[in-house]
Every structure is written in structure tokens, then in C-alpha cells.
Structure 1
Amino acid sequence: MSNEAPIGFFDSGVGGTSIWKEVIQLLPNEKTIYLADSKNAPYGERPVEEIIALSKKNTDKLLEMGCKLIVVACNTATTNAIEYLRANYHLPFIGIEPALKPAALKSQTKVIGILATKGTLSSKLFHQTSELYSRDIKIVEVVGQGLVRLIERGEHNTFEMEILLRQLLKPMLEAHIDYLVLGCSHYPYLMPVLKKIFPPDVTIIDSGEAVARQTKKVLEENHLQNQGDKGPGHKLFSNVDPKVLGLLTNAALNNYEVSYLEF
């Protein structure tokens, strides 16, 4: 595998670009290919077998496009399918899990919240992580029903979104959480609205920086860093209208290639 090959990313839509942004910021020499499987979003409401099949489809497409490493930029796909992917493909995979550990270790109130999809919260991997860090911590779990669909339409900072979030997050406000863990890669795009809803002493955390650091580490361990002096290239594809994908990534400003692709 060539060191100049791109890093691949996939998500059930545009949300994983929150992870992609962290990776390209930390690794400016790397080329990337991003697949937004918006046609099948959200993964969080699908059965495990279907999530695995969709993850396999995305992986096959990224391998066809010559990727050297794949970031599963989707919590639901990671918690339900990454074990299968690692067992059946011979290249490194980076997953994304809710950042429960730092929230549980730093919480002063010993009450933390996690906002995630049904597919993530019901997964075996999430339950294992939750049991590990929740011995003396109360975790208020909320399924973000309807959030991904609004974000996929570019309606992440709207009055409708604020009303929905206030309804969903009421149990967390009543429980006086001091940490909110975002358990879906779409949800960092809700940060402006979340900061309006929660008091300033609630810390909101996601996994983006940690995933970027892990990607860098795995590239180094496998001697896959791009040492070339050619500028990086970033290609982002959506299997629906790529307009929202382009807007969220500021493609017009940064000259990223954003286009439609059937996959």
C-alpha cells in the first residue's frame, strides 16, 4: 500500500465530517476520501445485520478507491460493525465511541448524560464500556430521535431543532448533569443550540480529537504516513444531493471536491 494513498472515511451521512475535520487538521499532509451514505441515514434505527451490511458496502467502495486506512466515522457503525470489519479486511480501521471515560472520571456531580442513537445505546460494545465506567456514576441516556434527519437537511441550527432538543434533553437538565457526551458524529453540529439549552457549567464533549490522535498513531505504527511533498487532496462524496455536505465542510471556500456518487 502506497503511503500517498488516501485515508478513507464513511458515515451514515454528513455527520462524520465533524471527525474528518479533526483528522485533516492534525494530519495536513494526508489525502482523504469521505463517503456520506445519506441515502441510508440514520443507521441508528436499523438492525445490526443491516448496519454490518452497509458498513461492508462502504468499506468495499473505499478499498476500490485505494484507501490505506479507514475511519469508521459513525458511532453506530463502530459499535455494531467494527469487530466484523477488522476480522474480514486486512487494513487498519479506526472506530469512534462515545467519550464516556473522560466524562465519568472528571464528573463532579457523578451524573453525566449521553445523547446517542438507539443503535449505539443498545449495542454490546456500548454496554461493555458503560459498565466499565458507571460503577459510581449515574448515566442519563437519551436517544436522539429525529436529530440526524434534521442535520441531514441542513437544519441543525433552527428553531425546530431547539424545540426538539429541549424536549429530548429535559431528563438530563432535571438530573443536573455536569458532562454531556455526544454519542453520534452528527451531533457536534448541534453545539450552538446545546450551549443555549445547558448552563455554562455543563461540559459537552465528543470524540473528534481522540479519533484524530488515534489515526495519527496508527499511521505511524504501520509506517503509512504520507511523506510526499505534493499538497493533500480531499474528495467528499454523497449518494444524495451533496449540497449539505458541501456547506458543512465549507467546500467552496477550501476547494474541496464535493460531488454525487452512487454507492
Structure 2
Amino acid sequence: MDNNKPIGIFDSGIGGTSIWSAIHALLPNEQTIYLADSKNAPYGQKSKQEIIDLCIKNTEFLLQRDCKLIVVACNTATTNAIKELRELYQVPFIGIEPAIKPAALNSKTQVIGILATQGTLSSELFTQTAEKFQSTKIIEQVGHGLVQLIEAGEMNSPEMYALLESYLQPMITADIDYLVLGCSHYPYLIPQIKKILPEHIHIIDSGAAVAKQTQKILETKIGFTTSKSSKPLFYTNTNPVVLKDIIGGHYNVLEKNF
């Protein structure tokens, strides 16, 4: 395999840039191609087959651009489709799922909260993971409306704060000491979430863990790039303004119909 090929990353929108950011920080010399399928966001309200079909479409797009590794930077896509993707394609896939394990193992109150999409919380993979930690009470909350507001650039709006408060207050009352963010969009809400949660409640997202797994797969199976670092490529199938705002103006965002 050609070590100098890019790493492909896709999500149902701009949220997976939180994963891209962690990968780019850890592996700055690796070429990355990020695909934001914002036109079809959120995936969490779609059927399993719809999610699989969208993931296949995204994978094909990245393989056409010669990616050596694909990161599914979306909890809903991972929990519903990564098994099928691995069966269909030879390229290695890295997925992302809610970090229940570190939260459950470190919780002192044995009560943790999970904020995620309906598609993630109702998936077979999530259920299997949660069942491994039956001594921990897991309070699940679907983040209705959060992805749509993030995609619209409304992360700091009064509407966003009101939604988060309504979702998090019951968890605070139930005495959680860990909040797991089960959607790659949600790390962008951490500043808002911190205004609501008491200081003792820890917030966990999966960005660093996915970046380390990416590094491990390159190290053991594919190899690191030997070329000089190049600028990341970003693609979106909607207006690129919000994506540009998220990643910073010095990166190019290409609007493409896919």
C-alpha cells in the first residue's frame, strides 16, 4: 500500500471536524480529506439501511480520491454501518462510538449520562456496549435538534442553551459524574455545556481516542507518509460557510454535489 495516500474522514456534516482536528494535531504530516455530507444531516433520524447507503456513497467518494484509510467520524454511521463497510471494502476503517467504558470505569457515583442521536442510542452496537457495564446506571438522552442548530451555525444561540439545559438538568438531578458526548458534532457545544454542568462532572468525547487508533493502524498496518505535509482538503455538499467558520479561514472548502 502507498504510504503517501491520504486519510479519508467522513461525517454527516461538520461535526466530524472535531475528530479531524484531533487526527491532524497528532499526525500533522498526513494528508487528510474530509467529507461533510451536510445535505443529509442528521443521520440519527434515518433508518439503518438509509445510513448504510449514505456511508457507502461517502466511502466511494473517498476511495475515488485514493484514500488509504477511512475514519467514520460519526457515531450513528459507525454504530449502524461500519460492519457492512468492512465486509464490502478492503481499506481499513476506524469508527467512533460513545466512550461508555472510560466513563463507567471511572465513575464514583456509578451514574453516567450519554447525550447522543436516536440512531446511536437505538443501535445494536450501543446496546451491546452498554450491557457490559450493568453495574453503572446509564441515563440516555437523545439530542433532538442539536445537530440541526450546529449545522446552521447556531451553536451559541439562546435556543441551543435552552435545549441543552432541558437535556442535562435531569442528568444533574440523577447525580451523574460523567457526561459522554455520543455525537461528533457535540464537542463544539462543550463551552455551552460547561455553563450548565457543575464543575465536578467530567465531559468525555472520542476525538483523542480515534486519533490514537488512527496512529496505531498506520504504525502497524499501513505506514506513515514520507512526503512533506500538505494542506487538508475539505468537501461539502451544502453551503461551505459554516464549515469554513469551524475549521478556520485558511483552509479551502470545496462545494461538490455528491
* TM-score normalised by structure 2 residue count: 0.98
Query: What code does the residue aligned with 1:257 have?
Result: N
Which residue of the partner structure matches residue 180 of structure 2?
181
Inter-partner Cα distance in structure 2 for 1:168 and 1:199: 14
Q: Percent identity?
A: 60
CA drift of 1:168 comes to 1.8
CA drift of 1:170 comes to 2.4
The answer to whether residue 116 in structure 2 is matched with residue 116 in structure 1 is yes
CA deviations 1:223-248 (Å, max 9, x no partner) are 331022x2222000110001111110
Question: What does 1:138-177 align with in structure 2 at a 5 Å threshold?
Answer: 138-177=137-176
CA drift of 1:59 comes to 0.1
Aligned match for 1:235, one of 221, 233, 236: 233
Query: What code does the residue aligned with 1:25 have?
Result: A
Which residue of the partner structure matches residue 131 of structure 2?
131
Aligned match for 2:243, one of 242, 245, 254: 245
Q: In angstroms, what is the RMSD of aligned CA positions?
A: 0.8
Q: Give structure 1 stretches of 5+ with no counterpart.
A: none
Inter-partner Cα distance in structure 1 for 2:141 and 2:12: 19
CA drift of 1:167 comes to 1.2
Query: What code does the residue aligned with 2:256 have?
Result: L
Query: What code does the residue aligned with 2:79 have?
Result: T
Question: What does 1:204-243 align with in structure 2 at a 5 Å threshold?
Answer: 204-228=203-227, 230-243=228-241
The answer to whether residue 48 in structure 2 is matched with residue 48 in structure 1 is yes
The answer to whether residue 257 in structure 2 is matched with residue 262 in structure 1 is yes
CA deviations 1:38-95 (Å, max 9, x no partner) are 0000000000000000000000000001111000000000000000000110010000
Which residue of the partner structure matches residue 95 of structure 2?
95
Give 3-state SS (helix, strand or coil) of 2:222's partner.
coil
Give 3-state SS (helix, strand or coil) of 1:57's partner.
helix
CA drift of 1:103 comes to 0.2
Which residue of the partner structure matches residue 80 of structure 2?
80
Does structure 1 retain, via aligned residues, the 8 Å contact 2:178–2:204? yes
